C-alpha cells in the first residue's frame, strides 16, 4: 500500500464547488460569512490558500450548508450548476468520456477535484454495478451526520446528472439511501426505484457501462483530461480511507486476519503512527473494520440470502452469535430482518 495524504493536507480544489454553492446560499438568505461561521473557513483564508481545502474544511463546509440552508434541493442545484456552468473540468471529462465505465474511473481517480465523497470498491453483480458511498467521518456528533447526508446527496446527484448528460436511461437505475436521508421528489421521478439501505449507493445496469455518449466531444475530453491531470497533485495519490477499505475488504475475502498491527506493517509505519493516521480521518481501526464488514454484509445479502453461519464465516467472525450481536449493534436489527429487507432489494435489482 502506498503512503497516503493526511486529512490536513490541502488536496481538494474547492473553487468550483464554492462558486456553485455560495450564490445559491445567498439567494436563500445565508451569506458567505454566515455559512463559514462555525467552520474552519473564511473568505480571506480561501483567497490565501487559493481555494484549496483540507478534507476537514470541506466536511465542515458541507455540514454547515446542510444545517443552515433549509432547502432539500440545495445539493441537486449545486451539482446542476457545476454541470450547466461547466465550473469543473472533471464534469467535462466524465460527460465526454468514451463510456460510462471510463467516466466512473475518472470520477474515482480525480474526485479530489470535486468533493471528497468516497466510493467503496464497486461491486459487480450479475447484471448490475453497485456503487456505494462510504460515510466520511471526521466531525463530531450531529455535524458528522449532516456531512454524511450532504455527501450522499451530492454523490447521488452527480451520478444521476452524469447519467442524464450522457443520455443514459437513468430510469433503470436504483438509488438506496439510509432511512434518515429523504430522497428528492426529482430523483423519484428520474430513477426506477428509491429504497432504504444502511449505506447510500447506486445500482446501474451493467449494459449501460459500455454505452457510448451520443454527443461526445473528443477535443473537450482531451482538454478536460489535461486540466484534470495538471490540477491533480499526484496522479497516483490514492484516497487514504479507500486504500484501507480495499485492504480490509481483500483480507476478509481471502480469509486472512486483519488487525491494526498487520495494517501498520502493510503501510510500513509504527502501530501508534497508524492509529494516529486513522484518527486524523475520524476513525478507529475497529470502526473502519466494522464499516467494511457492514458493506460486505449488505453486498453478500444482495447476491444470496446466506445463513448466519455462512455470513459469520465470510465476515471473519469465529462465532455466529458474535456476528448476530455485531449486526444488531450496527443496524439495530437482527440478521434475519436484514435478510428479508435485502431479499427484496435482491429481487428488484435482479430485474434490472
Partner 1 sequence: MRMINLRYISNWRVLLIAVVVLVCLLLSSQLGVVKPYEIVDPLDILGEGSTLFLTILIVIFTVTDRPRGNVTNLFYSGGLLLIFSMTLDVLDEFFRYPDALRLLSWLESFPLPVGLIIISFAAAEWRRENKMLSRQLMVREKNLRSHQWVDPLTSLYTTPYFIKLVEREIALQNSTDAESTVLVSVNFKNFAQYNHEMGTKAGDELLHQASELMVLLLRPQDCLCREHSDHFLILLPQTRLSQADRLMKVIAQNLNSELELPNYMSVEVHTHHVEELSAVDAITALHTQVEEMTHYAPLAN
Cβ proximity to partner 1: between 94 and 123 the closer is 94
Cβ proximity to partner 1: between 74 and 120 the closer is 74
Per-residue mark of binding to partner 1, 23-42 (x: CB under 8 A): xx--xxxx------------
Residues in contact with 118: Cβ distance below 8 Å, sequence separation at least 6, in sequence order: 111, 133, 134, 136, 239, 241, 242, 245
Query: What whole-number distance in Å separates Cα of residue 315 and Cα of residue 163?
Result: 33
Cβ proximity to partner 1: between 5 and 72 the closer is 72
Answer yes or no whether residue 86 interacts with partner 1 by CB under 8 A. no
Name the segment binding partner 1 (CB under 8 A); options: 35-43, 65-73, 192-200, 215-223.
65-73
Cβ proximity to partner 1: between 188 and 256 the closer is 188
Question: What is the SS3 assignment for 134?
Answer: strand
| Full DSSP string of 205-246 | EGGGGGPBPTT--HHHHHHHHHHHHHHSS-TT---HHHHHHH
Q: With contact defined as beta carbons under 8 Å apart, do 157 and 76 qualify?
A: yes
Among 71, 193, 266, 290, the residue binding partner 1 under the rule CB under 8 A is 71
Provide, rounded to whole angstroms, the least separation between the CB of residue 304 and partner 1.
37
Tell me whether residue 97 is exposed, middle or buried, using C-beta atoms within 10 angstroms of its C-beta: 0 to 12, 13 to 18, 19 or more.
Answer: buried
Among 70, 261, 287, 340, the residue binding partner 1 under the rule CB under 8 A is 70
Provide, rounded to whole angstroms, the least separation between the CB of residue 91 and partner 1.
13
Answer yes or no whether residue 149 interacts with partner 1 by CB under 8 A. no
Q: Partners of 193 in the beta sheet?
A: 174
- The bridge status of strand 128-134 relative to strand 52-53 is unpaired
Answer yes or no whether residue 158 interacts with partner 1 by CB under 8 A. no
Cβ proximity to partner 1: between 71 and 290 the closer is 71
Among 58, 120, 162, 184, the residue binding partner 1 under the rule CB under 8 A is 184
Q: Partners of 53 in the beta sheet?
A: 12
Provide, rounded to whole angstroms, the least separation between the CB of residue 76 and partner 1.
9
Backbone angles phi, psi at 175, to 5 degrees: -105, 135
Name the segment binding partner 1 (CB under 8 A); options: 22-30, 146-154, 242-250, 257-265.
22-30
Among 34, 67, 80, 211, the residue binding partner 1 under the rule CB under 8 A is 80
Name the segment binding partner 1 (CB under 8 A); options: 111-119, 144-152, 179-187, 291-299.
179-187
Tell me whether residue 236 is exposed, middle or buried, using C-beta atoms within 10 angstroms of its C-beta: 0 to 12, 13 to 18, 19 or more.
Answer: exposed
Name the segment binding partner 1 (CB under 8 A); options: 40-48, 76-84, 195-203, 241-249.
76-84
DSSP state of 122: P
Answer yes or no whether residue 8 interacts with partner 1 by CB under 8 A. no
Rg (CA), the chain: 20
* Diameter of the chain measured on Cα atoms: 58
Residues within the interface to partner 1 (CB under 8 A): 23-24, 27-30, 69-73, 77, 80-81, 83-85, 184-186
Amino acid at each position: 500500500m502506498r503512503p497516503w495524504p493526511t486529512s490536513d493536507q490541502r488536496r481538494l480544489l474547492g473553487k468550483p464547488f464554492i462558486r456553485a454553492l455560495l450564490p445559491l446560499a445567498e439567494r436563500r438568505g445565508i451569506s458567505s460569512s454566515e455559512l463559514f461561521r462555525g467552520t474552519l473557513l473564511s473568505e480571506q483564508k480561501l483567497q490565501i490558500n487559493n481555494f484549496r481545502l483540507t478534507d476537514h474544511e470541506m466536511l465542515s463546509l458541507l455540514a454547515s450548508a446542510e444545517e443552515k440552508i433549509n432547502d432539500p434541493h440545495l445539493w441537486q442545484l449545486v451539482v446542476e450548476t457545476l454541470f450547466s456552468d461547466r465550473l469543473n473540468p472533471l464534469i467535462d471529462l466524465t460527460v465526454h468520456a468514451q463510456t460510462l465505465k471510463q467516466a466512473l474511473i475518472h470520477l474515482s481517480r480525480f474526485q479530489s477535484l470535486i468533493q471528497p465523497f468516497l466510493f467503496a470498491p464497486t461491486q459487480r453483480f450479475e447484471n448490475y454495478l453497485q456503487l456505494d458511498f462510504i460515510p466520511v467521518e471526521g466531525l463530531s456528533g450531529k455535524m458528522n451526520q449532516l456531512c454524511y447526508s450532504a455527501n450522499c446527496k451530492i454523490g447521488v446527484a452527480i451520478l444521476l446528472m452524469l447519467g442524464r448528460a450522457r443520455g443514459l436511461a437513468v430510469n433503470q437505475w436504483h438509488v438506496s439511501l439510509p432511512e434518515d436521508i429523504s430522497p428528492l421528489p426529482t430523483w423519484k421521478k428520474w430513477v426506477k426505484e428509491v429504497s432504504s439501505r444502511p449505506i447510500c449507493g447506486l445500482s446501474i445496469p451493467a449494459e449501460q457501462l459500455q454505452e457510448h455518449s451520443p454527443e461526445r466531444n473528443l477535443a473537450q475530453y482531451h482538454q478536460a483530461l489535461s486540466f484534470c491531470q495538471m490540477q491533480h497533485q499526484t496522479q497516483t495519490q490514492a484516497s487514504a480511507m479507500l486504500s484501507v477499505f480495499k485492504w480490509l475488504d481483500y483480507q476478509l475475502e481471502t480469509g486472512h486476519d486483519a488487525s491494526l498491527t498487520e495494517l501498520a506493517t502493510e503501510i510500513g509505519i509504527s502501530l501508534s503512527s497508524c492509529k494516529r493516521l486513522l484518527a486524523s480521518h475520524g476513525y478507529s481501526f475497529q470502526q473502519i473494520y466494522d464499516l467494511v464488514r457492514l458493506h460486505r454484509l449488505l453486498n453478500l445479502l444482495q447476491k444470496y440470502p446466506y445463513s448466519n453461519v455462512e455470513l459469520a464465516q465470510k465476515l471473519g467472525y469465529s462465532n455466529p452469535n458474535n456476528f448476530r450481536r455485531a449486526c444488531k449493534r450496527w443496524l439495530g436489527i437482527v440478521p434475519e430482518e436484514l435478510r428479508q429487507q435485502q431479499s427484496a432489494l435482491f429481487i428488484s435489482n435482479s430485474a434490472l
